[in-house]
Amino acid sequence: MNAARWRLDGQLALVTGASRGIGLATARELAGLGADIVLVARDEAHLEQVRDELAEEFPRNSLRAFAADVGEHEQRLEVFDFIADLGLELSLLINNVGMNTPKPTLDYSASEYRRIIDTNVFSAFEMCRLAHPQLVQHANAGIVNVGSVSGLTSVRTGSPYGMSKAALHQLTRNLATEWAEDGIRVNSVAPWYIRTQRSEPALADPDYLDEVLERTPMKRIGEPEEVAAAIAFLCLPAASYISGECIAVDGGFLRYGF
Ligand SMILES: NC(=O)c1ccc[n+]([C@@H]2O[C@H](COP(=O)([O-])OP(=O)(O)OC[C@H]3O[C@@H](n4cnc5c(N)ncnc54)[C@H](OP(=O)(O)O)[C@@H]3O)[C@@H](O)[C@H]2O)c1
């Protein structure tokens, strides 16, 4: 076995939404594999606290934090200025930020559904474009987009969220083919319910939780670390011939017809 194919030493990964949930678990997993990380989230104080904790856990890695809203173009540019100033080149981009306000379709105002699409799709699209000049310089360059089972089948999340995640999965397929000649692999993950701050309110309703578990072959909610592991695998040199793929992290949910 070539152990180096299962390591990310010397690679710089940008993880958006890295201060909690799936993003934080991903930053930790990638750091554990040797990667240096730039963590991005909006709440600066919380982000710095998380960075300090990770820095203690991984004293040999370079762990940087930059507070930004990746839904705002000026702030996306600031993230890449920050990376340029570090003098390090990015080789991995994890587009993890996503938001939702679930409602019946007829109840959305135009600004509400546009915000979901802007944050979940256009920000990831722009982050990919901004990262390209740096990714193209690396032998093991990759992007992983955090989609959702909601982008692959209908679940009760509201249609704009489903549309946005479907678009993110299609962006993944398009870039995988377009940027293959640039040596950039582009993949996605599709989680079903994962235990995070974001999913907590819905899962706190015992009847709803029962319904979710009833529809989940593995009869449990996923953990952020289980999504992070799939993301990390897609980043590794070990996944060097995998591009345009989507790994469902869903306890069998998508395969459960009846
Ligand atoms: N949890 C689930 O069950 C589940 C299932 C399927 C898919 N997903 C997807 O997984 C991703 C992560 O979800 P999660 O449950 O881990 O969320 P979470 O626990 O709410 O964490 C969200 C993270 O993103 C940051 N963030 C949010 N909006 C941001 C923005 N505009 N710019 C920069 N940072 C931002 C948050 O920090 P700040 O608030 O400080 O910015 C936080 O670090 C999302 O794309 C979600 O759609 C989640």
Is there an atom of ligand 1 within 6 Å of 164 CB?
Answer: no
pLDDT level of residue 1 (50, 70, 90 thresholds): confident
Q: What SS3 string covers 63-121?
A: EEEEECCCCCHHHHHHHHHHHHHHCCCCCEEEECCCCCCCCCHHHCCHHHHHHHHHHHH
Beta-strand runs (E) in the chain: 12-16, 36-41, 63-67, 92-95, 141-146, 184-191, 246-249
pLDDT digits (tens, 9 = 90+) for 28-65: 999 999 999 999 999 999 999 999 999 999 999 999 99
pLDDT of residue 105: 98
Reduced to 3 states (helix: H, G, I; strand: E, B; else coil), residue 184 is strand
In a domain, 139, yes or no: yes
Q: How far is CA 65 from the centre of its chain?
A: 16
69 Cβ below 6 A of ligand 1? yes
Give the confidence band of 225 by pLDDT, cuts at 50, 70, 90.
very high
Q: Per the domain annotation, does 95 fall within a domain?
A: yes
Q: Which of 79, 194, 221, 226 to mutate to test the pocket of ligand 1 (most atoms within 8 A of CB)?
A: 194
The answer to whether residue 257 sits within a structural domain is no
Q: In the predicted model, is pLDDT for residue 258 greater than 90?
A: no
CATH assignment at residue 101: 3.40.50.720
pLDDT of residue 29: 98
Average pLDDT over residues 2-9: 96
Q: How far apart are CA 159 and CA 26, in angstroms?
A: 27
Nearest-angstrom CA–CA distance, 169 and 234: 15
Give the mean model confidence (pLDDT) for residues 204-217.
97
pLDDT digits (tens, 9 = 90+) for 149-198: 999 999 999 999 999 999 999 999 999 999 999 999 999 999 999 999 99
Instruction: Quote the distance between the C-alpha of residue 80 and its chain's center.
Output: 17
> Active-site positions?
161
| Model confidence at 98: pLDDT above 90 | yes
Protein residue with its CA nearest to atom 13 in ligand 1: 22
- Rounded average pLDDT over 122-139: 97
The per-residue pLDDT for 62 is 97
Q: Is residue 258 part of a domain?
A: no
Q: What is the DSSP letter of 61?
A: S
Atom of ligand 1 nearest to the CA of 47: 40
Mean pLDDT confidence for 130-143: 96
Q: 198: how many CB neighbours lie within 10 A of its CB?
A: 15
pLDDT at 133: 97
pTM: 0.98
Q: Determine phi and psi for 249, rounding to 5 degrees.
A: -120, 85
CB of 191 closer than 6 angstroms to any ligand 1 atom:
yes
Task: Calculate mean pLDDT across residues 225-239.
Answer: 98
Mutate to test the pocket of ligand 1, among 196, 208, 226 (most ligand atoms within 8 A of CB): 196
pLDDT of residue 127: 98
Structural domain span for residue 66: 3-252
Residue 178: inside a domain, yes or no?
A: yes
How much is the pLDDT for 172?
Answer: 99
φ, ψ for residue 84, nearest 5 deg: -60, -40
Distance 181 CA to ligand 1 centre (A): 31
Looking at the 3D structure of the chain, how many domains does it have? Answer: 1
**Exposed (0-12), middle (13-18) or buried (19+): which is 109, by Cβ within 10 Å?**
exposed
